[in-house]
Structure 1
Amino acid sequence: MEPVSLPLSYFLATLAIFAFLHFYKRPRGNVPVPSFNPTKTFRIRGVPLTWSGNDLELHLSELDPLSKPVVKSIAREIHGRSNTATVTFKIPPSQFQAHKLSRPPWYIQLPDVSVEGRRSLQSQSMMIDNDFEGMTTLHMPSSKGHKIDVVAIPGLGGHAFGSFKERGGSHMWLRDSLPFHLREAKDKTQIARVITWGYNSTLADSKSIQKIEDLAKKFRNSLLPLAGPPTRPIILIAHSMGGLIAKQALIDMFKSDNEQDSQIVRAVYGIAFFGVPHLGMKIESLIPIVGYGPNLPLLQSLDRLGSQIISVGEKEFPAALGGEGDSEIVCFYETHVSPTAQKDEAGNWKMTGRPELLVDQESATHRRRWEGGPQHTCPIARTHSNMVKFGPHDDEYDNVIERLKILARNSLVARDETLEIEREREKQWNKHNGAPRPHAIPSKIFSSLHEKDLDQDFPGRLLWYREPVGDNGYPLGTTIEPHIESQNSVKPIGETILTCRRIVNLQIRGHIKWIDPGRYRSRNTGWCEVPGPEVEVGSDGEAFLMVSKDFERKWIGGFSFGGVRLDPC
């Protein structure tokens, strides 16, 4: 029997099938697929506002179907120009291979969008990265439900996304849990926009010379879009050194003459500090990583012994947040020791050294007189790094979310009370003056205050400013008396006094009229007049005013208080 000769076309077709299987079904040569972590999250910025998560997934799949992208979140950024998404891939897209897995960012071309024959002015590319530096919106509620903003800040050597992700998993509680647990009490609508802010603070082989003050300036600038309008209550979630950055930024904004800075400071109602070294931390095991590198001063600023930035922050920070009822702080502290740094056999730094408690309870709890109870100081049975990593059904997260719910609820109550007080003040002013409330006060009734007249013998001396209020909502008169406030007690005010505010280091010249700025609970105050002794104003033209429970403003050639402009004499 003679052999059957197959047609040449059949042979070529078979060869083509084998070639296809060999070149397209095998693992890609440029990408070591087994080493790629499919839970690694990438950030995509510049996503068109009209796109949904499905639209983005479809576009990414069309570029490379084998990458199997999954969009985990998509939300409008705080600047309002575009959306930002978080995405995972089963294997790296081919575009990454084209870059030979070089460090991001990478760019993905958008389809050309035309309107009536004209090319769209929108950005024609999206950017992919995984460093998450700057602001990243992880969740955006409906415009109607949006009531508060939550901003999270990682710690030293941390990552704006990875620091808050469960270890070994994909659950990121700021994105996957928190937004769905902060809801309106009545209709259960989601109320929180959740944002994370990232910065580069790696220790090993760093080229950076930035200090906490530098990082605070960057954070301050990133917060400015939250000034609105409208300005919503802000809750900060800060881990480790991130808390020191937040504190310094608030101090800087508090001292600023910029109205946007003032709006942000007034908007910050709640802060959740996680292992923040308010009194410093142990840095001995970290110094060998840095050596004599340019970022050594940044690490030294965290030292428990002799840190100037920490010392100054502890003195100035309380004034920035005001007094009781103006803000609320919850401090979480670690109760597990953490491994310290040591080199492995290959010369790489690993956290495998002798365990230590990096930030003890005393340093991690920033106590104000009214916040010493268990509702404001909470232990977390984790190491310093793991205390902000929660899984989907985590009992430590359950404890944390209950505190955050209280902060969110109280921030809305404080906002509503402030708005009601402002509306009532406006109403009373218009009723008794026959003209709209002024936006400026003539200089002839402006009083200057000067720092050189402070009582240096009694730096803790306070002046209590008492206001009996009449039926029309305005003070009947005012008395000012010196008072030394102890750490644990305050002198009773008396039944006839309806309101009281603490004025620190006050010196008054002539006659001052001002409008109370609001934001304080359980009071009914309005337009008031305060006579006082004359004092000289220094030739430098500066004056310092500290009123309303440590509320401070710096006057240089003018003074803005509660939205009312005071012109200098």
Structure 2
Amino acid sequence: MSDSRAKHGLDELTPPNLEAIVDIVFVHGLHGNKENTWTATTKDGKVFWPRDLLTQDIKNARIFTWGYDSHITHFWSKTSAGNVDTHAKNLCADLSSRREFTDTTDRPIIFVGHSLGGIVCANTLVLAENSAEPYANEIASNIRGMAFLGTPHEGSNKTKWAKVGQQFASWIKTVNKEHIEVLEPHSVKLGSIGSSFGNILRRRGEKKEKGSKIEIACFFEEKETSPIGFIVTEDAARLGSYETMSIAADHRGMAKFTSKEDPGYARVSGVLNMWVSILEKEAAKPPQPPPASVINKAFFGDNNGGLNVGQSQAPTNWTQNNYGRQGQGDSDPSQGGRRTGA
């Protein structure tokens, strides 16, 4: 990865012919890297856990890691307030292109974001949900889960966001006037993202349609980062009433796991496994017939008086097509009508 371009874009960590039911996408944060952020060093070598551990535990997920220019002065620029939007738009476009190429545009998506990478994930949902582009809307509608590792959630409070910016500047050892000036004005932008993100989660949660709700899990660091202290506190990492758990590491270490026995890995992978299990059950459900009242109205209008006049007791074509063939090899209810592919 000596070429900086190799550090950007989407890398697939699973075999290209995998029969997956979900895409899991890892997004690093400030001064991060699409591999190093998620890699722990042990006496036996390096462990890139999304590839070396998670692919073994969730075998029906296609797993990606995504990279971008995350230097603090490039993440936000004094000359352009749009860089955080640019990252989100690029993530959406890169993911959409890969899914279109592999004919998997209807596959559910789970994001895992570390630090401010979680903000990029949240902003991807915000921009895609409100985009005029169908491909972006498709990404938004298929986002089903987001796991945040050390991501601050301060809503629309720009004062708190300004403090978060100072903490991040201190963390990367660049506490100088230039970087503080870069971060502080964007507290307004971060507040806007946080507010819009919360509104979308609320709207999606209120819908009754299958696949509308977005699962959320937030993880916070148990250990301080010397000599600064906590980069993202438990309170800052909490997002409303969603589940919040701790990882016994500092801000950088909380995204690095050495083995499957690591308690932090067990928590994060456990959440991801749970979400994938929910998606498995959804995909396995056979189609449900419409209520009799709907069929009655469709065929006989509103003047039937509830007498079911003219309805046959014989199976309809709909029930024959969708239920009569099961067990005869004509349909596979375990696929739930979804397209499969790499």
Contact 1:275/1:331 (<8 A) preserved: yes
Going from structure 1 to structure 2, the CA distance change for 1:429 and 1:207 (only over 3 Å counts) comes to closer
Pair 1:154-2:36 in alignment? no
Residue equivalent to 2:153? 278
Going from structure 1 to structure 2, the CA distance change for 1:402 and 1:193 (only over 3 Å counts) comes to same
Given the alignment, which residue of 130, 139, 144 partners 1:255?
130
Report how many aligned residue pairs link the two structures: 277
Going from structure 1 to structure 2, the CA distance change for 1:213 and 1:300 (only over 3 Å counts) comes to farther
Given the alignment, which residue of 65, 72, 88 partners 1:216?
88
Contact 1:273/1:330 (<8 A) preserved: yes
Provide the rounded CA distance (Å) in 1 between the counterparts of 2:192 and 2:22: 30
Provide the rounded CA distance (Å) in 1 between the counterparts of 2:36 and 2:307: 57
Provide the rounded CA distance (Å) in 1 between the counterparts of 2:123 and 2:76: 23
Higher relative contact order (Cα pairs below 8 Å, separated by 6+ residues): 2
SS of the counterpart of 2:139?
A: helix
TM-score by length of 1: 0.44
Compute the displacement of 1:363 (Å).
1.0
Residue equivalent to 1:318? 198
Provide the rounded CA distance (Å) in 1 between the counterparts of 2:292 and 2:89: 39
Residue equivalent to 1:231? 106
Contact 1:337/1:355 (<8 A) preserved: yes
Q: Summarize the alignment of residues 485-524 of structure 1 with structure 2, pairs less than 5 Å apart.
A: none
Residue equivalent to 2:246? 379
Residue equivalent to 2:233? 360
Provide the rounded CA distance (Å) in 2 between the counterparts of 1:318 and 1:207: 22
Compute the displacement of 1:140 (Å).
3.0
Q: For structure 2, which runs of at least 5 residues remain unmatched after alignment?
A: 155-160, 207-211, 300-305, 309-342
SS of the counterpart of 2:141?
A: helix
Going from structure 1 to structure 2, the CA distance change for 1:430 and 1:363 (only over 3 Å counts) comes to same
**4+ long deviations beyond 6 Å:** 204-208, 426-431
Compute the displacement of 1:174 (Å).
0.3
Pair 1:175-2:57 in alignment? no
TM-score by length of 2: 0.70
Provide the rounded CA distance (Å) in 2 between the counterparts of 1:139 and 1:298: 38
The code of the aligned residue for 2:15 comes to M
Contact 1:233/1:412 (<8 A) preserved: no
Residue equivalent to 2:139? 264
The code of the aligned residue for 2:274 comes to I
Residue equivalent to 1:396? 264
Residue equivalent to 2:225? 338
Going from structure 1 to structure 2, the CA distance change for 1:415 and 1:264 (only over 3 Å counts) comes to farther
SS of the counterpart of 2:166?
A: coil
Write out per-residue CA displacement over residues 341-386 of structure 1, whole angstroms, 9 at most, x where no aligned residue.
xxxxxxxxxxxxx231010111111124xx3xxxx21111110000
Compute the displacement of 1:215 (Å).
1.5
The code of the aligned residue for 1:164 comes to W
Compute the displacement of 1:318 (Å).
2.9
Write out per-residue CA displacement over residues 72-123 of structure 1, whole angstroms, 9 at most, x where no aligned residue.
xxxxxxxxxxxxxxxxxxxxxxxxxxxxxxx537xxxxxxxxxxxxxxxxxx
Given the alignment, which residue of 167, 184, 205 partners 1:300?
184
The code of the aligned residue for 1:310 comes to L
Compute the displacement of 1:310 (Å).
2.4
Going from structure 1 to structure 2, the CA distance change for 1:197 and 1:432 (only over 3 Å counts) comes to same
Provide the rounded CA distance (Å) in 2 between the counterparts of 1:426 and 1:298: 58
Contact 2:10/2:94 (<8 A) preserved: yes
Percent of aligned positions with the same letter in both sequences?
25
Q: For structure 1, which runs of at least 5 residues remain unmatched after alignment?
A: 1-41, 43-102, 106-128, 183-189, 340-353, 435-469, 473-569
The code of the aligned residue for 1:223 comes to L
More strand by share: 1
The code of the aligned residue for 1:299 comes to L
Structure with bigger gyration radius: 1
SS of the counterpart of 2:47?
A: coil
Residue equivalent to 1:104? 3
Provide the rounded CA distance (Å) in 2 between the counterparts of 1:246 and 1:205: 17
Provide the rounded CA distance (Å) in 2 between the counterparts of 1:132 and 1:212: 18
Supply the RMSD in Å over aligned alpha carbons.
3.3
Given the alignment, which residue of 195, 198, 201 partners 2:64?
195
The code of the aligned residue for 1:173 comes to W
Going from structure 1 to structure 2, the CA distance change for 1:141 and 1:338 (only over 3 Å counts) comes to same
Write out per-residue CA displacement over residues 150-206 of structure 1, whole angstroms, 9 at most, x where no aligned residue.
000001111110000003541100001101111xxxxxxx20110001011124899
Write out per-residue CA displacement over residues 18-51 of structure 1, whole angstroms, 9 at most, x where no aligned residue.
xxxxxxxxxxxxxxxxxxxxxxxx4xxxxxxxxx
Going from structure 1 to structure 2, the CA distance change for 1:285 and 1:332 (only over 3 Å counts) comes to closer
